[in-house]
Amino acid sequence: MTTVPILWTFRRCPYAMRARLALVSAEITVELREIVLRHKPALFLETSPSGTVPALRFKDQVIDESLDIMIWALKQNDPSGLLDMPAAGWDLIAHTDGPFKDALDHTNYATRYPELDPINEREKASTHLLDLETHLRDGDWLFGNTPTLADLAILPFVRQFAFIDRAWFDDQPWPNVIAWLDWFLDSQIFAHIMPKFAPWAEGDMPVYFAA
């Protein structure tokens, strides 16, 4: 076992994305192991109780919920004060992880849900984005002029929703959400968490991921 935690991840997964964002923000080095979701390594399945990414493996502990990884990382080191967030931030994260993510999936993977109308589901997701728009009217971030945990936890899911149909997304009455997302997509931290790595295989040299 290496002396740094092992992060099992999948590059495009928004849950894994936000875990990487928090680890970079906390300046924590991990050994990164990229997987292919259709071909999950046996060692990963032994590590993650849920069989989902991200999973952060320590010598004697596993954290396999993305928000728990974010909180753990920022409790170790939070130089930007991301945990200094009002209670409303936790509510926004909970709504993103619940109703918004459900509506996003029903829209993005409509063939899996033939009993649902994808347009109606898109409208359900849109109500959450309109709520975010109201928060972004008073600053560049959800709670003013500095980012919080809520921004990093929510942005990967807004990105996923936007790219279902980016032209439609950009035509909606949420200019501040669009600007917020575009800043994120053009940011150094987004570039830092999104390099392409070959899928991990036993015997590979470790790949270290750090701020």
**pLDDT tens by residue, the chain, 211 residues:** 458 999 999 999 999 999 999 999 999 999 999 999 999 999 999 988 789 999 999 999 999 999 999 999 999 999 999 999 999 999 999 999 999 999 999 999 999 999 999 999 999 999 999 999 999 999 999 999 999 999 999 999 999 999 999 999 999 999 999 999 999 999 999 999 999 999 999 999 999 998 7
1 belongs to a structural domain: no
The pLDDT of residue 19 is 98
> How many domains, in total, are found in the chain?
2
Residues 186 and 98 both lie in one domain: yes
The pLDDT of residue 211 is 74
The pLDDT of residue 1 is 44
d(CA 197, CA 211): 16
Residues 92 and 174 both lie in one domain: yes
Residues 138 and 204 both lie in one domain: no
Pairing state between β 6-9 and 30-34: parallel
Contacts of 41 (CB under 8 A, 6+ apart): 35, 200, 201, 202
Residues 124 and 169 both lie in one domain: yes
Residues 30 and 100 both lie in one domain: no
Residues 75 and 138 both lie in one domain: no
Domain holding 28, by residue range, is 6-80+192-209
Residues 56 and 32 both lie in one domain: yes
What CATH number is given to the structural domain containing 160? 1.20.1050.10
Residue 87 gets the label, from left (phi > 0), alpha (psi -120 to 50) or beta, of: alpha
d(CA 25, CA 47): 25
Residues 151 and 91 both lie in one domain: yes
Cβ atoms of 27 and 211 within 8 Å: the answer is yes
Cβ atoms of 83 and 149 within 8 Å: the answer is yes
Residues 182 and 196 both lie in one domain: no
The pLDDT of residue 130 is 98
d(CA 160, CA 149): 18
* Coil, strand or helix at 210: coil
Residues 183 and 199 both lie in one domain: no
Residues 160 and 128 both lie in one domain: yes
